[in-house]
Chain A
Amino acid sequence: MSRTLGPFAAVLRRDLLLAWRGRADVLVTLAFFVVVVCLFPFGVGAETNQLRSIAPGVLWVAALLATLLSLHRLFAQDHADGTLEQLLLSPEPTVLWVVAKVVAHWIATGLPLVLVAPALALLFDVEQGALGVLVLSLALGTPILALLGAVGAALTLGLRGGGMLLALLVLPLFVPVLIFGAGAVDSHLSGTGADAHILLLGGGLLGALALAPVACAAALRIAVE
């Protein structure tokens, strides 16, 4: 047991430590999220009803873009310094440490977005009862974005212009998450209840957790070859 968990725990601890030492990068992602959200009232006008109705979509799109912005960092450094080769030569299953890397990445970049989102929602005058649904939808949805994005990041690793390609590759895959994520808050506000959306996001998360690491591991093996 402890041996199988060894590489998982080692990668998780190391990546969290690296995120802490390079926290400027993490703060940039968070600042991007806040700034993008704050731009919308300037663009569409400060009419309260309108802001209230666009808030879920705006927060979700901003979270999605902020996630996209940080994705290229997931494997790039390890690929450049040779750590990725060593990890691929580990006798332990590749998917284990891939999941560890994605979890660490989400804790460093996704979790702060989830925690800041309610404060930003208040700027849009979203009613307080919906804040819980917003946080829950982001907490379930942003890990899906990180898992899907990890596959894209692995596929575009080491390519010239990989950042643009990564965006083209993963943004269409993010669409269902966006629909159900923003939809959860909307349906709560309209009174139909967010259960269905939340359950679908939960199912999506489990599905992504089962499939994305395998695809990501295969893509990484191709990338180092």
Chain B
Amino acid sequence: MLYAADLACLKGDRLLFRGLSLQVAPGAMLRIAGPNGFGKTSLLRILCGLAHPEAGEIRWNGRPITGDRESFHRTLLYLGHAPALNDLLTPLENLRFACAAAGDDVDEDACVDALVRIGLADQLDLPARVLSQGQRRRVGLARLFLGIRRSLWVLDEPFTALDAAAVADLATTLSDHCAAGGVVILTTHQDAPFAVPPTVLDLSEVAA
């Protein structure tokens, strides 16, 4: 269960939001909505512990996330706006590195399977710089298809640059993760075919 109380976020000298509270129970999906520049990404980064809120606190399973960073980050999978791909490495090398750096014990076959499943079977050995935007996006998303046991998924615009089939596949995966008791928090501007429509938190309604 992720619980945040009375969050405030300051960007430069502009207050993006304040008094923001939210609670996401296991098995729930939360969609952060709002126009550009209302602090969706900032909120996600605060919830991950990458940025500090100006005020307020965040608890994961009852414990403040800053108190025990390592065990919180062991349950967190965050995919940000940048896909974290190095142009000189192949998709497979990028994915294997992402898993190893996160401390996940994943073997090469599982990584190949995930990349094939997400539609990159022909690009496994190409450097990432020759991939299209959508393909780069897919490499970043491949970690979601590895079956890693991380209960909290925080995804910044995961559907951007994906084609319709990939959007449907990803939506199913996210719904499955929730059905298995996981938590998904995401931002998106498009309607994805989720099995259960996510709860929506509209930042333009809580804007300072």
Q: Show the binding face of B for A, using Cβ within 8 Å.
A: 48-52, 69-71, 73-74, 76, 78, 80-89, 93, 97-98, 100-103, 105
Contacts and interface: CB of A to CB of B under 8 A. Distances in A.
A7 to B, nearest CB: 5
Interface of A: 3, 6-7, 9-11, 14, 17-18, 21-22, 77-78, 80-83, 85-93, 97, 224-225
B84 A83 contact: yes
A89 B93 contact: no
A97 B101 contact: yes
Given A10-B97, A21-B88, A86-B102, A81 B76 contact: no
Contact of A82 (B52, B73, B83): B83
B195 to A, nearest CB: 28
A10 B83 CA distance: 18
A89 B78 contact: yes
Contacts, number: 83
B100 A89 contact: no
Nearest to B73: A91
Contacts of A10: 97, 100-101
User: Which of the listed residues A17, A81, A93, A97 has the most CB atoms from chain B within 10 Å of its own CB?
Assistant: A81
A91 B84 contact: no
B101 A82 contact: no
B78 A81 contact: no
A6 B81 CA distance: 26
B190 to A, nearest CB: 21
A86 B101 contact: yes
B102 A82 contact: no
Nearest to A78: B86
